[in-house]
Structure 1
Amino acid sequence: MYVHRLKTNSKVIGMKQTLKALENEEVEVLYVAKDAQDEVTTRHIELAASQQIPVVYIDTMEELGSVCDVEVKTATAALIK
């Protein structure tokens, strides 16, 4: 539902950039790869929940990277408000 927006809307890609955007309350939707390590994504998911931000799970880090138009695997990404 929100995945197509990653190609056209403002976004951040990667753990550090996504976490920073979450901390600054700039995130509209959080994307998390299901195969990413829990210790990598837990903080992101907790922050999203506390801010009532929808979390969309993508099957693999490779697929999330592809949807974001980057050539690397990606654990997290986010649409920016």
Structure 2
Amino acid sequence: MLEELSTAQKVVGVKQSLRALREGRARKVFLACDADPAVTGRVENACASVPVERDFTMAQLGSAAGIAVGAAVVTLLNG
């Protein structure tokens, strides 16, 4: 599952993920299981018709997304 994050078009972070969800560009959202719910809550609430995966830590998501720090939210984009 995480392999997909390294190759797919994606955005990292709450603001970019919310924008992608609002614009209908989000295909799937990964929320870190160890992230603060106050941080991820707005994204989770915006995921009405987009699948959400919560099985990975911030460190795992950050590494899979190719960044040097943890990521609370990573969103895969359509196309």
Q: Same fold (TM over 0.5)?
A: yes
| Partner deviation per Cα, 1:29-81 (whole Å, 9 max, x = no partner) | 00000111101111111111x2x211011431111100111101110011101
- What stretches of structure 2 of length at least 5 have no aligned partner? none
Name structure 1 gaps, 5 residues minimum. Answer: none
What TM-score, normalized to structure 2?
0.90
Q: CA RMSD in A?
A: 1.1
Q: In percent, how many aligned pairs have the same letter?
A: 35
How far apart in 2 are the matches of 1:60 and 1:70?
Answer: 14
Moved over 2 A (4+): none
Length-normalised TM-score, structure 1: 0.88
Aligned partner (choices 45, 49, 72) of residue 75 of structure 1: 72
Q: How many residues align?
A: 78
Q: What is aligned with 2:59?
A: 62
Say which SS state the counterpart of residue 30 (structure 1) adopts: strand
